[in-house]
Every structure is written in C-alpha cells, then in structure tokens.
Amino acid sequence: MEYKDIATPSRTKEILKQYGFALKKSLGQNFLTEPNILRNIVAAAELSEATNVIEVGPGIGALTEHLARSAKQVLAFEIDGRLIEVLADTLSPYDNVTIVNEDVLKADLVTVAKETFQEDLPLKVVANLPYYITTPIMMHLLKSELPINEMIVMMQKEVADRISAKPSTKAYGSLSIAVQYYMEASVAFIVPKTAFVPQPNVDSAIIKLTKRATPAVEVTNEVNFFKLTKGAFLQRRKTLWNNLLANYGKEEATKEWLTKALALAEIDPKRRGETLSLQEFADLSNALESLKQDEIR
C-alpha cells in the first residue's frame, strides 16, 4: 500500500496546523521535509526485516514512517507529550511502531526494549537527534547495556566533524576519543539546513557509528582514561604538560608522577593534546595508573 509521505513542506505544515502545534525552541524541534533525505538515511542504516530500531525524537513521524517500512519493529522515545496524539494519527498505518512518551536520558532503556521488541534481532539507533542535547543522548546510548550494533544519527555538521575527527586536526578532541573508543565513526552525507522546518542556522550531517567488538584501545581504568583525555583538551593552545597540571594539580609529588608517566609512555610533554592518538592516550593513562599502583603498594 502506498502512503503519502509526512516529510514534505506542505504535509508538515498541514499536520502542524491541524493540531495547532507550536514548535518549542527549547526542545530543538526542526522537522525534515525532504523524503529523499529520509530514504538516504534508511539506506545508510541498511535496515531489513531482521533489524529492530530505536529512534529518539520522532517529532511528527517523518523519519519514523520510513523506518517502519524497512525494519521489523521501531521503538521511538518522544519527550514532548503534545506530539503523542499527532504521532498516533500520522503513524496509524504502521503496526510495528511503539511510541514512548519519555525522556530517553531517564528511561529504563533495557526494560523498555525488552517489553517492546518481540524478537531478539540486531539493534540499531536511527535518529535525527535534538541539537541542544546530541552528545549526552549519544553517550547515554553508547554506555547503556542495550546491544546496539550501529547508530546512524543526524546532528550538527560541526559535531559530526568532531566525532569523526583524526588526531592533529582542528576538530579532534575529547569527544572524538569518547565516541571512537566504542565505535568506528564516519560521516555518511551532509544535509542542508534548507531541508528543515523551521530552518536551523547550520547544516547537518548523518554520521554512521559501528560498534567495535572491543574498545579501540586497552585501558586499565576507563574512568581515569576519560578524565585524562578531557583534561588534555582543557585549553587547546596549551601544551599537554600545562593541561595535565591544570587537571591533576601542581604539587611536587604530582609533577613527579606526571613526569615519570610521560617518560614511561614515551610522550613529549611539550606536545599538544590534539596530536596524541587514542593509543598514546591509552599508554599515558595506563602509565599513570601503574605508577599510582606502585605508590599504593
């Protein structure tokens, strides 16, 4: 059966008018009005009847309906209660969609997924993430116990560039490391700002993240590894040494500990954080841990 796509400028305006729906800037509501872009997102996600999907922020269901046509089941989290009635209407042709009116950051994801998905199939996240909270949502999903194989998500192009950035580039930073530790990242394609209602100020990008079988590098303490990588970029223009002092303290014993760890990891303290690879950060983190352990012993 053929259905009229939600994602056209006229149909989007018609739906918003029908429900007297006023967009909330605080929720980062920008609705896609280009069916071709949605088809390209689904193509990049490589969905099939043997795939379950989680979506965050379905809006009026523009992407959701395309997911429903390709995947086995779709579970969508929508924080805005005003949209539940709209979604019940726009997605009424699809019986494989479950909408949950909950903040994805507060939801018990594992329990909701177990209750929703009838079959234990490969799980993907496909979503147009709200710009104001892209990173927290993504990290929350990555660190959850959901067996996510891939994430195909839309976000501001600048954030996508940072996530997929390589060492010694302007965009490379702690976010690049945090995501690439868990996933392989690549930008699939760019989405112009003209494809949205209302039009945002910047272009977007679709980024594809594929879960690694094991983290990219081996670290003895994940929490301290991420503390180190965050600290190394406190002030980008400063040397690694200066950022480490700002992060860990300037006491003589601390300086000695940092000096020994840098020597053990064979890293020049005069380098900047952005020049270190994931492996070098892991080496330094592990060196800091081993020297701390020696002290404790």
Q: Distance between CA atoms of 114 and 106, rounded to whole angstroms?
A: 16
Give the domain-ending residue among 211, 238, 259. 211
Q: Is 40 annotated as a binding residue?
A: no
pLDDT at 117 over 60: yes
Q: Is 57 annotated as a binding residue?
A: yes
Q: Is 128 annotated as a binding residue?
A: yes
Q: 1 in a domain, yes or no?
A: no
Q: Is 61 annotated as a binding residue?
A: no
Full residue range of the structural domain in which residue 249 is found: 222-296
Q: 4 in a domain, yes or no?
A: no
pLDDT at 140 over 70: yes
pLDDT tens-place string over residues 23-57: 776 666 788 889 999 999 999 999 999 999 999 99
Number of domains forming the structure of the chain: 2
Q: Both 178 and 281 in a single domain?
A: no
Tokens of 239: 């040397």
Q: Both 85 and 153 in a single domain?
A: yes
pLDDT at position 2: 53
Q: Is 203 annotated as a binding residue?
A: no
Q: Is 30 annotated as a binding residue?
A: yes
pLDDT at position 294: 61
- Listed as own residue / partner, the contacts of 187-195 with beta carbons closer than 8 Å and 24 or more positions apart are 187/160, 187/161, 188/40, 188/44, 188/152, 189/40, 189/44, 190/157, 191/32, 191/34, 191/37, 191/154, 195/32, 195/33, 195/34, 195/37
pLDDT tens-place string over residues 150-202: 999 999 999 999 999 999 999 999 999 999 999 999 999 999 999 988 888 89
